[in-house]
Structures are given as C-alpha cells and as structure tokens.
Amino acid sequence: MLKRSHLPAPFLLLAIVLASSAFAASPAVDPRIEHLLTELGKTQSIEAVAISPDGKQLAWVIKRQGNPSIEVAAADGSHAHRLSAAAKPGTCAESGVAWAPDSRHLAFVSNCSVDLTSTKVMQNTIYLADTTGSSAPAQLAQLQGYVRALQWTGDGKSIGFLYVPGATRHASAVAAAKPAAGEVGVAGVEIQHVASVDIASGTLRELTPAGMYAYEFDWSPDGTRIAYTAAQPPGDNNWWIAKLYAQPAQPGATTTLLVDPTNHNSGSLHGLQIALPRWSPDGSRIAFIGGLMSDQGATGGDIYAVPASGGTLTNLTPDIHVTPSWLSWTGAQSMLVSQVSNGQSQLADYAVSATQAQQQTAHFTVPASFSDGSASMAVSLSTDHQHVAFVQSSYATASEVHAGALSNAAPAAVTSFNAALKPAWGKAESVEWNNEGSHVQGWLLYPAHYDPKKTYAMVVVVHGGPSSAVIPRWPGVGYGAAPLSALDYFVFEPNPRGSFGQGEKYVQANRKDFGYGDLRDILAGVDAVEKKVPVDDKRLGLTGWSYGGFMSMFAPTQTQRFRAVVAGAGISNWQSYYGQNLIDQWMPPFFGASVYDDPAVYAKSSAINFIKQVKTPMLIVVGDRDAECPAPQSFEMWHALRAQNVPTSLVVYPNEGHHFVDPAHQRDVLQRALGWFAKYLPAG
C-alpha cells in the first residue's frame, strides 16, 4: 500500500513512475538531441563575482561539475587560485563572496565545517580569509540556518547578512515548497532576518524585529543604521506587500516605516512592489526600485527616493522608456543604473536632484545578460566607482567574468572557462514592430543550418513573469529556447506588453488583460517575422514556463495558428489557482482585486473556460512541489484536453519547485520538449 502524500493520486502515480524508473517512460532520444544535451552540460557555471574595493583583485564563485567553489585572481583574471575552507577541494559548497574594505580579507559562506547528515536544518559557516595566503580561512560564525547576501560595514567592523534561523529550505518562492502536512500556515513558518556578526568577537546579532520577514537590506554609510524591505510572514507570499523600514543597527531598536505601497497615500507606487533600498552617500535619502514586479529577484520599475528619516516619497524617473533594475549611488547627486532597454542590457549614469533622476550617458548597451550574482543586473564596483566586474553571457558566448575600467565600452572577459564552447544554434537578431500604439521588441534565433531557399517551422517562446524580459543569455541543460534553434527551428522570443524594457507604463499595460493584448502583440510579432524570413505559418509552435506556461495553455483557446504546444509550470484556471498557490499576494496588483471580489476578471483569462476551442497537441510539465504554479493546474488542463480527445501528455517531476534543481530532471524536461516538437512540428 502506498504511503500518504501531499500529492493528489494522479500526481503521486506519475511522481513514483519518474522517481523509480529513471525516466523509463521518456521518448526515444533523437541522437541530435542527445548530442545537444551533452554539449550544454559542458558549460561551467560562474555564479558570482566581486571586485575588491581597491579594484585590484577579483573573487568569483564557479560551479564546474560538483559543488560551487571560490577562486581569487588579479583584476585582469591572472594568477587565479582556489580559496577554500575545505580540507579536500570540492567536498563542500562555498559561495557568497564579500570583500572587506581593506581589499585584503574576504568573507564567504561555506558548509565545510558541519555534519551534513546530522539534521535537516541547513548549516552554514561564515569564514574570513586573508587573500595574501598568510593563514587558512578562519571561522567567524557557525550558524544553524540559511545565510546569504553578506555585506560589510564601511568601517570593516561588522558583516551584515540575511539569515533564516532553523531553515530547512532556501528562502525563495521558486524553491520546492515544504510538503503540506499538519496545520497549514501555522507550523514550521521560517522567518528571514537581517543579522550581523562582529568581526572582533564573532558575536551574532539579529537586528530586525522577530515577527518581521526581511527581504533585502543596506547599511547606512556610517554603519549605524540599516534600511530594509520587510513584511509579516510567510515570506514567500508577502514580498508583494513589503514595506520599507529603517532602524538603528541594534537588536530591539525602534523601527521607522518609510514607505508603505499598500497605502493609498503612496501615490504612483500604490499597489506596486519595492526592491533594492540604497542609502545616499550622505545618509540623508534612501533610493529604491518601485514598480509592477512578478517575482522577487526579477526587479524592474522606476527609481524612487524617500528621506531616511521619513517624509515625501518621490518618483525620480516618471515616463522613462527603459526599465531600471539595479542602482548604486556614485556620489551625492549621481547614480550608476543597470536597466533593460529594448531587449538589451544597459549600464548608465544618472544625474540625481531632489526631484528627478535623468540619464546622462550610457556606458554600454549589450545584447547580453550580466550580473554579479547578488541581484538582477547588479554589477560589482570598486570604492572609487572606476572599476567594474560582472558575469556576462549571450547567445554567442557562454558565461565569463568581465572586468575592467568603467568607460564607454563594455569591459572584456578576463576568464576563459567556457571559451572553447561554440553555439549549436543559429544567429540571433532583434526584431521590432508596432502594435496598437506601442513599440514592441523580441529576439529571433535562426535555424542552425539556415538555408534562405527553404521554409521552416517556428516555435514562439513566451517568457515568464509577465514582468520580465527576454535578454540573450547562454542556455544551460534544462527548459529553454536556444536548443530548438539547434534542431533547425526558427525561435521567436517576444517581449510583449507587460515586459521590461519600454518603461513602466508598458509593464502595466496588461493589467486585468492577461492573454489578450499581450497575445495580440505576440501574433503581430509573428506576422512581422514571417515578412522577414521564410517561416511556414502552418508550422507554428508555442511554449513557455510560468507566465509563458499560462500563455501556452491560453493561446490555443483563442487562435488555431499554433500546431504544437509545450506548457511548462502553467496556469489553466485563474479562479482555482488563486486558492491553490502559496503566493496569492501577487495577484491583486495584476488583476485589480482578489478573485473573491472580482471573479469575472480571473475567469476571462482562464483557459479552462474556453477548453472546447483547443485542438493543439500539448505536452504539460511541472514540479510536484511548485508553490508558484501548483501541479493541480497542470492536471486540470491535462484532464480537460483528454476529455476533448486532444493529444496530450502530463509529466510531474518529484520534489521539484518552480525552478528545477535535479540535473536528471533538467535534462529530461528539455529532452521531452524537443521530442514533442519533433513529433508534432517537423522543423525543416
């Protein structure tokens, strides 16, 4: 007899099949797909980089085959060597690099000194290393819980970080949810705090209130105060209603509420999200990104500022036509801003006054993705703001560390971990079109063996979010778009209304309209592509994950143009979804009300209500512990398609959340997607 599970019976059966048979039910693998998966698996993942305050050294985190490890090098990438607390290299996970103000010492997080088999509670130690090599890394604080986002005070006397005492999972809505058991929402609630450790004594202090879940923080310039975003727990759900606070950097200190986006008095920020609080150099103001954001970590919006002691909130960038995603004060009246601009990544200088922030120059604009690993589109800066480092990848080149002087050109790569890798897919180019008064942009990947005399099938890939954007990046093993190009499909990745890159009004343009205006933008983009290249309109496919999974389920109810669909972690019924997911706070900002107050707005975007119109073969894939797009949504769609005699297949992956982490599952989901299109949508 099977043990009880948090999964409904159909999910349990599928999960058991996957877990016990090593994907015995997987379709036969095309040799081309097998080769492609093998090549994608050769990529070495560079997870983070930090430049020393004096601009002379780099530290990066790289994951080659096993655990992530740390290396230190000169600023030009030379003389790289491993830095580790492990007795044997590679035996434990090390990450979270943060340089001390003296540019000599480096703090990092490691699980080397703990017994990983003794408890389900995460165990991590903060180490301090002398990068001159004069001594082995020393333990600074051994902690029972989740630790991330190390940040030194300016005087080098303390390190702050985000800390979840007693954590049993990563603090993220995209991580696998805990199995539902016991009294839901009461037992086992894990709370993330801002904490600090004193360098001299190793004393741990939890700074933020015990009942408050903190998401991001920043030290004041003098290290005496912290600013942070926080909400009541549960943390995965309430990020969408987080507020901005400031307080002295002491346990039990009085907090000051600076910004409350849930309050009507917050003006243009009302009902939106806030991220990345940053103190001005004189400590008088706190700037942050505010906008309509789908997920924590996918930051985008306008730049706001508020007095650090409380007062009038100001939108510094109303009506701009780019999407700021990260910022750093570089002076009393200047900022460095990373932003999405028409589907590309841009790093720009802004002049800042009391009432506005205006872009002055763009240092560079690249058809590539970059980040230092700490936040979306973040870069690591030297203290004088003259040197920069980040990890960059594109469709043309795999991830490398880029570092150099901050100038009017993108710095070159200083590593060559992945230099031998060559794209297996075709060239990428930006495509632009106009629809219903808006400028729209997307990316087009050509077939790997493109012949202009032939006609090709094309797969449309809709990104997640919807508050996000397709920006070129090197793919990994797992669900993605570029591998379809390697199998000689055209691949079209649009950034329709709701996406980052055209300004906040564009992001908000699909509020209360999911699946309609955004779908019209996508179809207009398909028309634009078909005028440009030899795509057979009778051989169009559609796929996407998360919001893209919803669109993959919904679009076939509105149009018959698509002949094959793969829906990843989708949503088939917004009304039932509201009561199933663990992050329902994200929905009122996008739908205008809860499902209980306005069920009609949810019903009009639910594929299940138009299911009789679907004729398209559909593969559906999902993780069984997905908190963002729960597996019952996929089951509901699969069940309805079977009832309509539409060819369909549902695959549920055990112990996976919204983002898959098991390499076997990552490989299998891509293999199945490619195989589905090969079966129902011949490429050439």
- Evaluate the CA torsion angle 350, 351, 356, 359 in order and state its sign: negative
Q: Is the pLDDT of residue 6 over 60?
A: no
Strands 213-219, 225-231: pairing is: antiparallel
Helices and strands in the chain, H and E counts: 12, 35
Taking 60 as the threshold, does the pLDDT of residue 502 lie above it?
Answer: yes
- pLDDT for residue 298 is more than 70: yes
Domain count of the fold of the chain: 2
Tokens of 200: 């001299």
Length of the chain: 684
Q: 484-502 b/e with 16+ CB inside 10 Å = b?
A: bbbbbbbbbbbbbbbbbbb
Residues near 558 by Cβ (< 8 Å), separated by ≥ 6?
Answer: 515, 516, 519, 610, 613
Region 250-269: what's the mean pLDDT? 94
Residue 251 in this model has a pLDDT that exceeds 80 = yes
Q: Is 403 part of a structural domain of the chain?
A: no
pLDDT of residue 114: 60
Using alpha carbons only, give the angle 96, 586, 231 rounded to the nearest 5 degrees.
60
DSSP for 25-48 reads TSPPPPHHHHHHHHHHTTPPEEEE
Whole-prediction pTM value?
0.93
Amino acid at 20: S
Beta strands (DSSP E) in 423-489 are 428-435, 438-445, 456-462
Would you state the structure tokens that stand for residue 42, as one six-digit string?
């050769």
Q: Tokens at residue 180, please?
A: 């539902």
Q: What is the pLDDT of residue 15?
A: 39
Q: Which two three-digit tokens encode residue 230?
A: 């926080």
Say which residue, 123 or 517, is predicted with more confidence: 517
Rounded distance, CA 625 to CA 6, Å? 9
Best CA proximity match to 342, nearest among 415, 433, 417, 411: 433
Q: Residue 22: is its pLDDT beyond 70?
A: no
Secondary structure (3-state) at 522: helix
User: What is the rounded distance in angstroms from the CA atom of residue 134 to the CA atom of residue 434?
Assistant: 61
pLDDT tens by residue, 202-234 = 999 999 999 999 999 999 999 999 999 999 999
Average pLDDT, the chain: 92
545, part of any domain: yes
Q: Which domain holds residue 63?
A: 41-177+188-206
Q: What is the 3-state secondary structure (H, E, C) of 295-357?
A: CCCCCCCEEEEEECCCCCCEECCCCCCCEEEEEEEEECCEEEEEEEECCEEEEEEEEECCCCE
Q: Residue 339's pLDDT is what? A: 98
Residue 53: what are its φ and ψ, rounded to 5°? -55, -35
Question: Does residue 451 sit within a domain?
Answer: yes
Q: In three state form, how does the secondary structure of 163-212 look?
A: EEECCCCCCCCCCCCCCCCCCCCCCCCCCCEEEEEECCCCCEEECCCCCC
Predicted pLDDT of residue 174: 75
Q: What is the pLDDT of residues 591-613, one digit of tens each?
A: 999 999 999 999 999 999 999 99
pLDDT band, residue 91 (cuts 50/70/90): confident
Cα separations (Å) of 350 from 207, 330, 620? 32, 9, 45
Mean local confidence (pLDDT), 35-48: 91
Q: What is the pLDDT of residue 65?
A: 73
Band the pLDDT of 187: cuts 50, 70, 90.
low
Of 550, 562, 480, 482, the C-alpha closest to 516 is 550
The average pLDDT across 269-292 equals: 97
60-69, 165-174, 511-520: which has the highest mean pLDDT?
Answer: 511-520
d(CA 499, CA 396): 23
Least confident of 129-143, 221-235, 523-537: 129-143
- Show the CA angle centred on residue 473, arms to residues 73 and 74, nearest 5°: 10
CATH of the domain at 439: 3.40.50.1820
Does the residue 434 lie in any domain?
yes
Under the banding of pLDDT at 50, 70 and 90, the label for residue 135 is: confident
Output the domain CATH number for residue 157.
Answer: 2.120.10.30
Does 297 map to a domain? no
Q: Which two tokens stand for residue 357?
A: 């922030």
pLDDT of residue 4: 31
Q: Looking at the predicted structure, is the pLDDT value of residue 23 above 70?
A: no
Instruction: Indicate if the pLDDT at residue 252 is higher than 80.
Output: yes
Cβ atoms of residues 194 and 160 within 8 Å: yes
Contact (Cβ atoms closer than 8 angstroms) between residue 274 and residue 216: no
Q: Are 489 and 460 in contact (CB under 8 A)?
A: no
Token pair, residue 619, equals 């593969």
The confidence score (pLDDT) of residue 1 equals 36
